[in-house]
């Protein structure tokens, strides 16, 4: 594993290359009148961290703002980003325009969608108890999601299937990085078997759902608030064809902001009715639908817990650990509401929850500020 100092030096080197690349690009950019002055490189301002190897910066020149992306080609697939951006634009989704992409170096220059994350706006509304406005914002997000789910297989790009093996790989992140890594649990053969059995149920439930275009990370930190309600969509390069409720559960059972269960269930049914009207899904039984929605949420939240754990253990990003308790609270709620999962619920109650805060606090004390 590379030392922190060598990693920092590599990142600084890539940032300098990105800065020079953007300077050379300026004459090509629309409405840019900046002179090509090699003695003056536009400054780059880092944007908030990303749960991947990508890094984002803003750059200003000639009264305009651009987003610059550093996506190391050995780690990230910029071609997928560009192809899916075009497909989403064709469907009317507000995604960044790709001005230039250098696949060899892993650099992209994108349009600027503003500086207000949807999550920041929602948190402000929540703090002020403006729940009517919260409902308006989520209904605007439903309109965005309907556009994404209207994209069908056989369009300009062929999205990969969100199949059982991929769903299982996501779930195994929880076992590897959270159970063994963060919690330092030594799982017995019986415990491994219990998790295998439960994972199988989650996968079966997901595959039984209508299969649609799935953004795969559709939540408040990947949406940019727009005053007109046409919120910008980011981080879509991993889109697949998969379960209908995956993106919906990511949005309204968000790992970064939570709402009362009554509001979540109302939104879940409201969106399903809208999707039915739009011809995305057919008739559905509300009780069965809500069950599949809840199980999809458990799959999603176990995966996210594993990713948050990996971001700390592998990538040295402790900030996401604070989101684990909220994320696992969704799991706890579903397990408690389903007697058939009593054994697993009991395991969580005895092996995970009692020590969770202690483990996270100890890690945070070792890590210090991110």
Q: Where are the domains of the chain?
A: 4-111, 118-367
Could you give the CA distance from residue 49 to residue 37 in angstroms, rounded to a whole number?
31
- Give one DSSP letter per residue of 21-68, joined into a string: HHHHHGGGSTT------TT-PPPEEE-S--SSS-EEEEEEETTEEEEE
Cα angle vertex 363, ends 55, 330, to 5°? 75
Could you give the CA distance from residue 98 to residue 29 in angstroms, rounded to a whole number?
11
pLDDT at 20: 93
Q: DSSP class of residue 323?
A: G
- 108: three-class secondary structure by DSSP: strand
For the domain made up of 118-367, give the CATH fold.
Aminoglycoside 3'-phosphotransferase; Chain: A, domain 2 (3.90.1200)
Long-range CB contacts (within 8 A, 24+) of 192-200: 194/343, 194/344, 194/347, 195/344, 198/341, 198/344, 199/168, 199/171, 199/172
- 337: three-class secondary structure by DSSP: helix
352, HSE (Cβ side, Cα atoms, 13 Å): 23
Residue 104 to residues 12, 68, 77, 281: CA-CA distances in angstroms?
Answer: 18, 15, 11, 40
Could you give the CA distance from residue 264 to residue 229 in angstroms, rounded to a whole number?
20
Could you give the CA distance from residue 228 to residue 241 in angstroms, rounded to a whole number?
29
What pTM did the predictor assign?
0.91
Neighbours of 238 (CB within 10 A): 17
pLDDT at 299: 98
Residues in contact with 362: Cβ distance below 8 Å, sequence separation at least 6, in sequence order: none
pLDDT at 28: 86
Contact 305, 317 (CB under 8 A): no
Helix boundaries (H) for the chain: 4-25, 78-90, 118-127, 131-149, 164-173, 189-207, 246-252, 261-277, 286-313, 324-337, 342-351, 353-367
Contact 120, 112 (CB under 8 A): no
One digit per residue, the tens of pLDDT, for the chain of length 370 reads: 445 566 678 888 999 999 999 999 998 885 544 454 545 678 899 886 555 678 899 998 878 899 999 999 988 889 989 999 999 999 999 999 999 999 999 999 999 999 899 999 999 999 999 999 999 999 999 999 999 999 976 555 678 999 999 999 999 999 999 999 999 999 999 999 999 999 999 999 999 999 999 999 999 999 999 999 999 999 999 999 999 999 999 999 999 999 999 999 999 999 999 999 999 999 999 999 999 999 999 999 999 999 999 999 998 889 899 999 999 999 999 999 999 999 999 999 999 999 999 999 888 777 665 5
Q: Which residues pair with 67 in a beta bridge?
A: 58, 110
- 369: three-class secondary structure by DSSP: coil
Contact 116, 225 (CB under 8 A): yes
For the domain made up of 4-111, give the CATH fold.
Phosphorylase Kinase; domain 1 (3.30.200)
pLDDT at 154: 56
Residues in contact with 198: Cβ distance below 8 Å, sequence separation at least 6, in sequence order: 341, 344
94: left (phi over 0), alpha (psi -120 to 50) or beta: beta
Could you give the CA distance from residue 208 to residue 331 in angstroms, rounded to a whole number?
20
Residues in contact with 365: Cβ distance below 8 Å, sequence separation at least 6, in sequence order: none
Residues in contact with 329: Cβ distance below 8 Å, sequence separation at least 6, in sequence order: 258
Residue 136 to residues 225, 226, 275: CA-CA distances in angstroms?
Answer: 12, 13, 17
Could you give the CA distance from residue 240 to residue 216 in angstroms, rounded to a whole number?
7
């Amino acid at each position: 594993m590379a030392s922190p100092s060598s990693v920092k030096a590599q990142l600084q080197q890539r940032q300098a290359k990105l800065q020079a690349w953007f300077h050379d690009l300026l004459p090509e950019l629309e409405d840019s009148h900046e002179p090509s002055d090699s003695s003056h490189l536009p400054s780059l301002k880092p944007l908030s961290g990303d749960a991947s190897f990508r890094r984002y910066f803003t750059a200003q020149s000639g009264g305009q703002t651009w987003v610059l992306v550093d996506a190391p080609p050995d780690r990230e697939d910029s071609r997928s980003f560009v192809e899916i951006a075009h497909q989403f634009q064709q469907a009317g989704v507000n995604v960044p325009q790709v001005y230039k992409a250098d696949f060899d170096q892993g650099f992209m220059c994108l349009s600027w969608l503003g500086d207000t994350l949807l999550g920041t706006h929602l948190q402000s509304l929540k703090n002020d108890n403006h729940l009517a406005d919260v409902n308006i914002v989520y209904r605007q997000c439903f309109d965005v999601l309907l556009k994404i789910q209207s994209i069908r297989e056989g369009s300009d790009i062929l999205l990969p299937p969100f199949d059982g093996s991929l769903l299982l790989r996501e779930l195994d992140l929880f076992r590897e990085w959270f159970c063994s890594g963060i919690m330092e649990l030594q799982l017995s053969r019986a415990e491994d078997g219990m998790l295998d059995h439960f994972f199988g149920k989650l996968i079966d439930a997901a595959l039984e759902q209508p299969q649609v275009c799935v953004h795969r990370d559709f939540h408040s930190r990947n949406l940019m608030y727009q005053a007109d309600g046409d919120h910008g969509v980011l981080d879509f390069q991993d889109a697949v064809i998969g379960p209908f409720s995956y993106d919906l559960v990511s949005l309204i059972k968000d790992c970064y902001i939570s709402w009362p269960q009554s509001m979540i269930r109302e939104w879940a049914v409201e969106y399903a009715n809208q999707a039915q009207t739009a011809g995305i899904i057919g008739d559905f039984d509300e009780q069965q639908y809500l069950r599949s929605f809840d199980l999809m949420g458990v799959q999603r939240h176990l995966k996210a817990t594993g990713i948050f754990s990996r971001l700390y253990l592998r990538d040295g990003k402790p900030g996401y650990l604070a989101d684990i308790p909220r994320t696992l609270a969704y799991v706890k709620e579903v397990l408690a509401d389903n007697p058939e999962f009593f054994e697993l619920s009991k395991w969580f109650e005895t092996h995970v929850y009692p020590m969770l805060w202690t483990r996270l606090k100890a890690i945070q004390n070792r890590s210090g500020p991110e």
